[in-house]
Amino acid sequence: MRTVPETLSKAMQLKRVINHKPLNLCWLSFDVNGNQPSVSLPRRKGYTLIELLVVISIMALLAGLVVGMAKYATDNKKITRVEADLAKLVTMIENYHQKLGFYPPSGNSAYAPAVTPLYYELSGCLVDATGNTFTTLGTGDTISKSLVQRAFGIDSFANSAMEKGEAVAFARNLMPSDVIEVDFGGKLKLLKVPVNGPPPWGVTNVWHYNSKNPTNNPGGFDLWAEIMVGSKTNVIGNWKR
């Protein structure tokens, strides 16, 4: 049996522990003999299933937003690029009209308005003495009269001459990437759209041009491109949409 002094001593020790360790921060436990109390910290609780599902849902939502914004930016970039090329070509065509008094003829091809002599008209051509070969100014691309007839349904280009200085080069700002060469029973060059088009054009996408009977700009010309934006076909032309 413990004496009164021993009991008082144990009580004083317990008081010091309680004063040193607040009860709201820890748990106190005693052994069966009433010895010095030991301190044990509470265990940390882990994430619940609901909390994990909420976090996963938020991450999936953010990922979807990022992918959607990236696709939107890519589509806008395509449209902006085509519109820039459209503005450049329209300026060349208007300069042609101002200088020569008429718009570049779009030819009489059965493949028009996709297959037109617009590239050669804007480039200007020199004709050889026989009248059978045309050579573009600046780039030196050649095309035979027979191919001109077969591809464009015409015998000659309006902006062509046998003497230098009589034909005018309006396509000085064209880059090699603005032109595409196709096989039409001979090498034929057309103005290329910088973005893929719908079938059957795909990567071989060309500008459509009509100055013979334009429907959107009567008395002027229609110039447009058909491009793929996502899974849809977009038409970008020189008229209000």
- At 236 the pLDDT is 96
Phi (first) and psi of residue 160, to 5 degrees: -145, 155
Mean pLDDT value of segment 15-41: 50
State the Cα–Cα distance between residues 104 and 94, nearest whole angstrom: 9
**Around Cβ 164, how many Cβ atoms within 10 Å?**
9
The answer to whether the pTM exceeds 0.75 is no
Helices assigned H by DSSP within 101-167: 118-123, 145-152
How much of the chain, in percent, has pLDDT values that exceed 90? 61
- At 141 the pLDDT is 96
Task: Choose among 119, 229, 225, 121: nearest CA to 175.
Answer: 119
> Quick one: which H or E segment has residue 185?
none
Residue 172 Cα to chain centre, angstroms: 26
Question: How does pLDDT run across 58-116, given as a tens digit for each residue?
Answer: 888 887 777 767 666 678 899 999 999 999 999 999 999 999 999 999 999 999 999 99
Mean pLDDT value of segment 209-234: 95
Confidence of residue 227 (pLDDT cuts 50, 70, 90): very high
Tokens of 85: 């090329």
Decide if pLDDT at 222 tops 90: yes
Task: Choose among 196, 179, 204, 184: nearest CA to 89.
Answer: 179
- At 35 the pLDDT is 56
Residue type, 89: L
- At 14 the pLDDT is 47
